[in-house]
Chain A
Amino acid sequence: DAGITQSPRHKVTETGTPVTLRCHQTENHRYMYWYRQDPGHGLRLIHYSYGVKDTDKGEVSDGYSVSRSKTEDFLLTLESATSSQTSVYFCAISESKGPWGNTIYFGEGSWLTVV
């Protein structure tokens, strides 16, 4: 199993509150990703990182920000949570053949409910 830990695993929060999800890896992989999974939409990329302090937007980045101050940690922040951000969030990592040139491995997911 890839050494990826997501926290929290489950969270219920109120509309308008900030929320931060953490992804921690022990593999020293360069590339890290945040996806969300929703019925009817499959998995969609939110943001990804190709190194410390190097991040880029995915296809559904509005309302989300990320930070990567250490190789092992990639944080996803919802500045002001909305009900449309209720979802399952997956962190993923991949080795160093370029962000999309290699196998990616997923964490176990974080279930977020915004009420």
Chain B
Amino acid sequence: GIQVEQSPPDLILQEGANSTLRCNFSDSVNNLQWFHQNPWGQLINLFYIPSGTKQNGRLSATTVATERYSLLYISSSQTTDSGVYFCAAKETSGSRLTFGEGTQLTVNP
């Protein structure tokens, strides 16, 4: 099945800094999503982005399907951005979403 690898595994920022989270996947995909899990465990869908670029406020995401990676950009980070960010992908010929192990982001005041 598809392999989904996220980097870095951990990231510590000062409030106001920018960051880029990366998701590499091993096969062609027709579904790619980013999620944020807050410190209370709630999973929030950020982007559905199998290709192209999307923006939502301070967050944006880009998926380059031909090169098998996706990037999540967080600008002007806030302490409420802390948590774990997951990427999930489904290969074109596959039957389920596979999640990466996540990037643990800590934003300090």
Contact = CB atoms under 8 A, between A and B. Distances in A.
Interface in B71-103: 86, 88, 90, 94-97, 99-102
B17 interface: no
Chain B, interface size category, equals: 20 to 34
B97 A101 contact: no
A100 B48 contact: no
Contact of A108 (B33, B41, B45): B41
Given A58-B96, A100-B96, A104-B33, A42 B102 contact: yes
B45 A103 contact: yes
Contacts of B94: 100
Interface of B: 30-31, 33, 35, 41-45, 48, 86, 88, 90, 94-97, 99-102
Interface of A: 40-45, 48, 58-59, 88, 90, 100-106, 108-109
5 contacts: A100-B30, A101-B31, A102-B48, A103-B45, A106-B42
